[in-house]
């Protein structure tokens, strides 16, 4: 039975973790950016509507609360994208470990 | 010297932990699985909400009278409540916590509009309805996008 080379294993883990996370970060950015831009534009339109009288004071207050709700909705999704990335990285790392154990022992886990 | 010994011990500890997890056949899961029924229900609720807001946006819509719109608000909120029940059923270990936040915040937006309308229908102007629609569209789209990401995660896990 061969031994496991920890240095090699750690190197492989770092390579997999880094490459997987790099694939994930643009996903987080892409998930939230477009929606947050839309909501920022809506916030400007609320202010314009109040100035030109197409939205009442109570209406503007309600819209701002709705806008806040929407920002929280998008951010909750973005937070979860981070979790999905972490999940993917850990599972990729566990895959590297399983491969190393298989190579050393001949047993597939 | 002490730092090097410490790092070696830490590396061994992490390696042992990872090997233990790998040998136990563990797979990390921080987010609930994709739920096709939930996905379809969100799409249906989004369509219903969109149809209602489009009618409400028409300047002479009968729905501008709150009494005529009340059932539509209740119907939409009832659908969102069903989404919540579905998401809660898949929330073992808190894996669906963020989806539940998204549902609650979307319901809060509809409740905000309903309360404004019930209080004084004159506050429900054409422009307000258009901006409400833009806002609620982002919320439904965010929920759908996120549910879709859960599906992509599933595809990767099976590889």
Q: Does the structure's ipTM exceed the value 0.85?
A: no
A65, A69, A87: residue with CB nearest B30 = A87
A24-58: pLDDT as tens digits: 666 667 778 888 888 988 988 999 999 999 999 99
Which pair of structure tokens corresponds to residue B144?
A: 């759908």
Q: What is the mean pLDDT of residues B90-115?
A: 96
CA–CA separation, B101 and B77 (whole Å)? 15
Where are the alpha helices (H) located in B24-125, listed in sequence order? Answer: 36-57, 66-89, 97-119
User: Do B134 and A42 count as a contact with CB atoms less than 8 A apart?
Assistant: yes
A52-75: pLDDT as tens digits: 999 999 999 999 999 999 999 998
B35-85: pLDDT as tens digits: 999 999 999 999 999 999 999 999 889 999 999 999 999 999 999 999 999
pTM of the predicted structure, to 2 decimals = 0.80
User: Do A86 and B27 count as a contact with CB atoms less than 8 A apart?
Assistant: no
pLDDT at A108 over 70: no
User: Do A94 and B122 count as a contact with CB atoms less than 8 A apart?
Assistant: no
CA distances from A59 to A56, A64, B58, B64, B108 (A): 5, 9, 17, 14, 15
Q: Considering only residues 10 to 49 of chain A, which have any Cβ-Cβ distance to chain B shorter than 8 Å?
A: 10, 13, 27, 31, 35, 38-39, 42, 45-46, 49
CA–CA separation, A62 and B65 (whole Å)? 18
Chain B residues lying within 8 Å of A72, measured CB to CB: 101, 105
Chain B residues lying within 8 Å of A56, measured CB to CB: 122-123, 125, 128
**Could you tell me how far CA B51 lies from the centroid of its own chain?**
20
Select the residue from A66, A90, A104 to test the B interface by mutation, using most B Cβ atoms within 10 A.
Answer: A66
CA distances from A79 to A29, A32, A37, B94 (A): 11, 10, 17, 14
């Amino acid at each position: 039975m061969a031994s496991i080379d920890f240095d090699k294993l750690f190197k492989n883990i770092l390579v997999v973790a880094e490459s997987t996370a790099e694939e994930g970060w643009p996903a987080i950015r892409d998930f939230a950016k477009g929606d947050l831009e839309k909501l920022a534009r809506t916030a400007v339109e609320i202010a314009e509507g109040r100035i030109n009288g197409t939205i009442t004071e109570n209406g503007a207050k309600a819209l701002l609360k709705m806008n806040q709700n929407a920002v929280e909705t998008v951010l909750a999704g973005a937070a979860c994208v981070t979790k999905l990335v972490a999940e993917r990285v850990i599972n990729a790392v566990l895959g590297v470990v399983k491969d190393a154990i298989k190579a050393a022992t001949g047993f597939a886990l | 010297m002490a730092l090097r010994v410490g790092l070696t011990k830490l590396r061994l500890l992490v390696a042992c932990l990872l090997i233990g997890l790998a040998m136990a056949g563990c797979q990390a899961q921080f987010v609930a699985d994709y739920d096709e029924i939930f996905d379809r229900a969100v799409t249906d609720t989004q369509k219903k909400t969109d149809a209602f807001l489009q009618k409400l946006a028409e300047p002479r819509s009968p729905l501008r009278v709150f009494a005529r719109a009340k059932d539509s608000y209740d119907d939409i909120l009832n659908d969102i409540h069903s989404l919540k029940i579905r998401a809660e059923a898949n929330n073992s270990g808190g894996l669906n916590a963020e989806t539940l936040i998204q549902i609650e915040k979307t319901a809060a937006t509809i409740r905000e509009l309903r309360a404004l309308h019930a209080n004084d229908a004159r506050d429900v102007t054409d422009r307000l309805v258009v901006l409400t629609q833009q806002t609620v569209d982002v919320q439904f789209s965010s929920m759908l996008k996120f549910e879709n990401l859960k599906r992509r995660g599933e595809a990767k896990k099976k590889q």
